């Protein structure tokens, strides 16, 4: 399960009603599939994510998960259904253990073994005893400076612990050192397995791994298909990246 569908969605930001972002946008992400969304800057990729997370609701149309309008779902339930990993991971100035536990809908119900398992699967177990450093707050003598790839793996462990049906990957920036890239990639693959994945794609490599690519343009999904089909088209998929 985890079928995600945008049905005839229209949306304009309340402050800019004259400039709609989406008009009758429809997109189906079948359960367990990987959909990459590409589109030029300003085409609405972030807005699509905001609607899914219910920072805003569509003006008309519905977004459904397994046939249920997300507006009818309990917000905590919705939060549990959707996991996110951004390329700019947000970590808090607390132990890495607590940073991972934050992913759980009910952190109090999380056991140490759950956290260790998530950390192992995310290739983050080796530094679970450390504290993140380099944020706004001082963390004390145990503090270590984490690399971008390590922070990423903590974010992945957090998402693994949540065990969401739907995974949102926003690859806005991808400044990973080559040394870490394999470990992050492996962790991400474990996280994606068996879930419905929506990738806001900025790199061609992720598009190749997706089951389908949706091209966002002119207030709706202009095209949707396998990347090999889209590569042949006149507009050129590359220019959308
Ligand atoms: P980006 O390519 O980073 O999305 P944008 O220019 O589309 O750049 O938007 C940058 C940020 O500014 C957005 O995330 C949004 O929160 C905010 N923003 C953009 N346009 C407006 C606006 N008209 N009113 C309020 N906030 C806006
Ligand atoms: P993308 O992620 O594809 O770059 P966005 O979803 O960030 O596109 O933005 C789509 C359009 O919505 C842009 O024209 C942007 O300026 C506008 N926009 C984004 N956020 C806001 C906001 N909070 N209020 C008004 N306009 C916004």
Per-residue pLDDT 10s for the chain (241 aa) are: 899 999 999 999 999 999 999 999 999 999 999 999 998 889 999 999 999 999 999 999 999 999 999 999 999 899 999 999 987 788 887 778 888 988 888 878 899 999 999 999 999 998 887 665 554 343 434 556 677 888 889 999 999 999 999 999 987 555 566 667 889 889 999 999 999 999 998 777 778 889 999 999 899 998 888 887 776 654 556 565 6
Q: Which of 191, 188, 214, 197 is nearest to 2 (CA)?
A: 197
ipTM: 0.70
CA–centroid distance, 148 to ligand 1, in Å, is: 25
Which among 156, 231, 170, 159 is positioned nearest to 199, based on CA atoms?
170
Instruction: Give residues with Cβ within 8 angstroms of 218, minimum separation 6.
Output: none
pTM: 0.83
Q: Cβ(164)–Cβ(194) under 8 Å? A: no
Of the residues 18, 45, 46, which should be mutated to test ligand 1's pocket, given the most ligand atoms within 8 Å of the CB? 46
């Amino acid at each position: 399960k985890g079928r995600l569908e945008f049905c005839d969605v229209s949306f304009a930001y309340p402050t800019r009603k004259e400039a709609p972002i989406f008009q009758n946008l429809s997109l189906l992400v079948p359960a367990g599939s990987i959909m990459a969304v590409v589109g030029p800057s300003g085409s609405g990729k972030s807005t699509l994510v905001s609607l899914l997370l219910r920072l805003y609701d569509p003006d008309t149309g519905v977004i459904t998960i397994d046939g249920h309008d997300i507006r009818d779902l309990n917000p905590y339930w919705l939060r549990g259904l959707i996991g996110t990993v951004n390329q700019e991971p947000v970590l808090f100035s607390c132990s890495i253990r607590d940073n991972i536990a934050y992913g759980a809908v009910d952190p109090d119900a999380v056991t140490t073994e759950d956290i260790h398992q998530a950390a192992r699967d995310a290739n983050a177990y080796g530094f679970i005893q450390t504290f993140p450093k380099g944020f706004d707050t001082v963390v004390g003598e145990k503090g270590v400076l984490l690399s971008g790839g390590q922070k990423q793996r903590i974010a992945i462990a957090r998402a693994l612990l949540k065990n969401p049906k739907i995974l949102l990957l926003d690859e806005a920036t991808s400044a990973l050192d080559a040394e870490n890239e394999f470990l992050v990639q492996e962790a991400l693959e474990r996280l994606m397995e068996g879930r419905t994945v929506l990738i806001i794609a900025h790199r061609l490599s992720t598009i190749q791994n997706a089951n389908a690519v949706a091209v966002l343009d002119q207030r709706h999904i202009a095209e949707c298909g396998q990347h090999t089909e889209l590569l042949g088209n006149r507009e050129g998929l590359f220019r959308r990246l």
